[in-house]
Structure 1
Amino acid sequence: MDATAERPRRSFFAYASALLGLLSVFGVVCFHFPDLLTSREFRAVYNEDFARHLLLVGLVAAFILGTLAILRDRNKRIATVGVGSATLAVLLGGSNVQFDSIGETPYSLGLDWFVISLFFSALVFVPLERYLGKRRMSPLRRGWRTDIAYFFMSHVLVQFILILVTASTSMIAGLAAFPALKDAIQSLPVWAQFLIAVFVADMAQALLHRAYHNVPWLWRFHAVHHSSREMDWLAGSRIHFVEIVLTRSFVLLPLLVLGFSTPAVNAYVILVGLQAVLAHANIGVRFGWLEYLLVLPRYHHWHHARQQDYVDVNYAIHLPLIDMLMGTFKLPRDQAQWPEEYGVMKLETVPQGIVEQHLMPFRRKKTFDEFVD
């Protein structure tokens, strides 16, 4: 008998239970230490009742899905992690956990941002990719653990990223202030400011993005992002910490210099978060003429194609118009045509794992024995 036939298939219920159970534990811990583990900026987006109801949903789902997986004899160890984590969360207080008033601390982690963002992103995109995906692919595809680690890092360290970005842009923005231009821009309606901000920010991002691909020492950082061998909603999270700070600083700077209002900038930030996930998602819907107006999955997937003809194209993250102006627009007219393979051209140049990938740009070593595959 074929040995592979005896291996039990991965149970989505078991892994979903484990994820929800662990997120529930994180949620309860956030209630116990809100001043240290929750982001001040993100706390303004939700209230206590919302957080408690979301925690209750996570606990109930973790118990039900884990129990079903165990009864079906599918990935029982993983399912036990889910049920056990949910039980621990209940013992720590569950959805009725009490907490004192939130104190002031100079720094805090964005664990609440990680929990809520991961929960809703998975809730939306896992079903979408299941039923509208271009490829039949499990959410537990190769490299998913690495991408979850990147997702965790970028969300939990959100305040530190903001501090670094603010420090790198505020002084320059102050020195390059243009009061008359700022007044002219802020006199426009917020929706008009938003549209202009999208164009300006996307142009800045595309120029830096092209530099990532053409300047060798910058490519060492950006290669981490292109090392994903599968494309889905989680793949976009694989970004080196240095690149996160550089890109956000470079994009935010012109917005600050030109003086866009806070509501317009906030709206742009929301768009960035949504479109970055959507552009990498495994969604094979044919969007027709919209593909020439907005950056959608197929457009950005070709940028990630492991194909020589596409190594220097499609740098925009919002508007294909930017690539048209730069002369870097390229998209097959046949909407049924998608890349056959993703990843860097030389796989051996990027090692496996978030730690090794973060160290990689600073090492003289150019190839690795254990590389992305």
Structure 2
Amino acid sequence: MARPHRSFFAHASALLGVLSLMAVACFHFPELLTSREFRAVYNEQFARHLLLVGLAAAFVLGTLAILRDRNKRIATIGVASATLAVLFGGTNVQFDTIGQTPYSLGLDWFVLSLFFSALVFVPLERYLGKRPLSPLRPGWRTDVAYFFMSHVLVQFILIVVTASTSTLAGLAAFPALKTAIQSLPVWAQFLIAVFVADMAQALLHRAYHNIPWLWRFHAVHHSSRHLDWLAGSRIHFAEIVMTRSAVLLPLLVLGFSPPAVNAYVILVGLQAVLAHANLGIRFGWLEYLVVLPRYHHWHHARQQDYIDVNYAIHLPLVDMLMGTFKLPRDQARWPQEYGVMKLETVPKGILRQHAMPFQRGRRFDDHVD
């Protein structure tokens, strides 16, 4: 029997309906479900207007899919979620001044990040993709779960990373060096921060590939068999903490100013998504200056002669200095296959993948292939 055609309207409705329901929950419980740091990026009116757009789109797209008899079950999820969102107050939910709580979840960060990332990259990959890859390709549910974990737990990750680096940064104090760096213009601090952080990240990244017990954590990230904007989210929680700590430590030790560090954080978020995106654009000489999709895709290639190359996430110069730069001169060449060399060593699903590094030597029947 032929596989039924997936309806874009139905799945877009489901996504928008569920995100709208989550947004309403954020309005009801802002102290618990929204990140204090991220609330400074947007205002209440923006959030309410965006919620209204999401609700209307979920209803319209879901209704059209149902009327066209296309993925009616998926479309019903979207319409039902949007209906629940309206019943629970919709854009009219009121709240007093947001109080302070010791901990909070970044559900608002997840909702807005997923919405805008999908809004930008789904059309780009649809029309500029190197491969004809559906957003609902195999493994997408696992990657959405990773995306959810890393965004919702953002405050807890920050607490752990800060605790692991602040003491060491305090011990390695270089007042004169900090003063010299902070005397530079912000743009110069930013460029130096990118190079320093990328060098620290690349050294740890190479250790992930060459130290067996570290590889078991990093293998989760390399287990993606299809690369797109969402695949970069598949990272073990322990690796998130280790990598962010390794990157933050030199930035704290050298004393870069907050504006320079904030600009670097924005770059990390953008480039991590872009590097994994399914974009077949030919960037020419820029591929030797900035890490772009084809460069990082070769790092993920399931090919023996590319398993120890292209560790940088920002600057190919870092790999050139490390002797790990490798890129085919023919810009038409892309990897034929992605994933770990031994597919049976990584199981499917976020929970089993988080347990996998502690099960040394195990082979899984239900693996990522």
Taking structure 2 as the reference length, the TM-score comes to 0.99
Alignment match, 1:361: 357
C-alpha separation in 2, matches of 1:8 and 1:218: 42
**Are 1:191 and 2:198 counterparts?**
no
Alignment match, 2:344: 348
Alignment match, 1:216: 212
Per-residue CA deviations over 1:166-197 (Å, capped at 9, x if unaligned) read: 00000000010100000000000000000000
Displacement of 1:101: 2.0
Alignment match, 1:117: 113
Amino acid at match of 2:164: S
Alignment match, 2:39: 43
Alignment match, 1:266: 262
Pick from 67, 87, 90 the counterpart of residue 91 of structure 1. Answer: 87
**Are 1:55 and 2:51 counterparts?**
yes
Q: Secondary structure at the match of 2:177?
A: helix
Alignment match, 2:67: 71
C-alpha separation in 2, matches of 1:367 and 1:100: 53
C-alpha separation in 2, matches of 1:8 and 1:276: 33
Q: Where does the alignment leave 5 or more consecutive residues of structure 1 unmatched?
A: none
Q: Secondary structure at the match of 2:46?
A: helix
Amino acid at match of 1:251: V
Displacement of 1:99: 1.6
Q: Secondary structure at the match of 2:63?
A: helix
Aligned ranges 1:165-184 → 2 under 5 Å:
165-184=161-180
Runs of 4+ in 1 over 3 A off after TM superposition: none
Q: Secondary structure at the match of 1:74?
A: coil
C-alpha separation in 2, matches of 1:142 and 1:217: 27
Displacement of 1:365: 4.5
Q: Where does the alignment leave 5 or more consecutive residues of structure 2 unmatched?
A: none
C-alpha separation in 2, matches of 1:254 and 1:304: 27
C-alpha separation in 1, matches of 2:307 and 2:295: 13
Alignment match, 2:251: 255
C-alpha separation in 1, matches of 2:4 and 2:238: 40
Displacement of 1:10: 1.0
C-alpha separation in 1, matches of 2:317 and 2:97: 49
Pick from 193, 203, 216 the counterpart of residue 207 of structure 1. Answer: 203
C-alpha separation in 2, matches of 1:317 and 1:348: 27
C-alpha separation in 2, matches of 1:155 and 1:362: 24
The alignment yields a C-alpha RMSD, in angstroms, of 0.6
**Are 1:315 and 2:305 counterparts?**
no
Alignment match, 1:13: 9
Per-residue CA deviations over 1:304-331 (Å, capped at 9, x if unaligned) read: 0000010000000000000000000000
Per-residue CA deviations over 1:11-58 (Å, capped at 9, x if unaligned) read: 111111001000000000000000000000000000000100110111
C-alpha separation in 1, matches of 2:93 and 2:123: 31
Displacement of 1:97: 1.4
Aligned ranges 1:129-140 → 2 under 5 Å:
129-140=125-136
Per-residue CA deviations over 1:332-354 (Å, capped at 9, x if unaligned) read: 00000000000000100000000
Alignment match, 1:246: 242
Displacement of 1:82: 0.1
Per-residue CA deviations over 1:58-104 (Å, capped at 9, x if unaligned) read: 10110111011101111100000000000000001111211222111
Amino acid at match of 2:72: K
C-alpha separation in 2, matches of 1:248 and 1:126: 27
Alignment match, 1:100: 96
C-alpha separation in 1, matches of 2:187 and 2:258: 12
C-alpha separation in 2, matches of 1:95 and 1:296: 39
Pick from 76, 81, 85 the counterpart of residue 80 of structure 1. Answer: 76
Amino acid at match of 1:104: Q
Amino acid at match of 2:166: S
Q: Secondary structure at the match of 1:104?
A: coil
C-alpha separation in 2, matches of 1:289 and 1:239: 30
**Stretch of structure 1 that moved more, 361-370 or 83-92:** 361-370
Amino acid at match of 1:29: A
C-alpha separation in 1, matches of 2:90 and 2:113: 20
C-alpha separation in 1, matches of 2:89 and 2:321: 56
Alignment match, 2:29: 33
Pick from 148, 156, 160 the counterpart of residue 156 of structure 2. Answer: 160
C-alpha separation in 1, matches of 2:40 and 2:188: 26
C-alpha separation in 2, matches of 1:173 and 1:300: 31
Q: Secondary structure at the match of 1:13?
A: helix
**Stretch of structure 1 that moved more, 90-99 or 341-350:** 90-99
C-alpha separation in 2, matches of 1:113 and 1:88: 21
C-alpha separation in 1, matches of 2:169 and 2:219: 30
Alignment match, 2:333: 337
